[in-house]
Structure 1
Amino acid sequence: MIYKVLYQPSRDEVPVREQTGALYLEANDVRDVRKKLADKPYNVEFIQPLTGKFLDYEQKSAEFKLEKL
């Protein structure tokens, strides 16, 4: 399944909406996503599973790039 992860680039700073980043990962479940991101300095805000029309919409976006972790 593909997940969209919204995150802040640093765990040490106060979250600011304008700095929120997004990445896309393929994983078995949310726990697997968190394991893959454990060594990154990201402050994970939200993990959203993408299926059906939501996935189709995100894939049409210019920012859609499936990360290999």
Structure 2
Amino acid sequence: MIFKVFYQPTITEVPVREKTDALYIEAETEEEVRKLLADRKYNIEFITPLKGEALAYEQQNEKFKLETV
């Protein structure tokens, strides 16, 4: 399954909406996503699974690129 992860690039700063970034990653569960990204020290705000029409919509975005971990 593909997940969209909303995150702040650093843990040491207060989250600000305008600095929120997103990445796409393939994993079996949300827990696995968190484990795969643990070494990056991101402040993960939200993880959402993508499938069906939502996935098709995201794939049309020019920023859509699956992360490799």
> Do the two structures share a fold, i.e. TM-score over 0.5?
yes
**C-alpha displacement of 1:41:** 1.8
TM-score in terms of structure 1 length: 0.98
Which amino acid in the other structure matches residue 11 of structure 1? I
CA distance in 2, matches of 1:40, 1:2: 19
**What's the C-alpha RMSD, in Å, of the aligned pairs?**
0.4
CA distance in 2, matches of 1:6, 1:15: 11
Runs of 4+ in 1 over 6 A off after TM superposition: none
TM-score in terms of structure 2 length: 0.98
**C-alpha displacement of 1:39:** 0.5
State the match for 1:68 in structure 2: 68
Q: Which sections of structure 2, spanning at least 5 residues, go unmatched?
A: none
Q: How high is the sequence identity, in percent, across the aligned residues?
A: 59
- Are positions 1:47 and 2:50 aligned together? no
State the match for 1:5 in structure 2: 5
1:35-67 deviations in Å (ceiling 9; x for gaps):
001101200000000000000000000110000
Matched pairs, number: 69
1:3-30 deviations in Å (ceiling 9; x for gaps):
0000000001000011001000000100
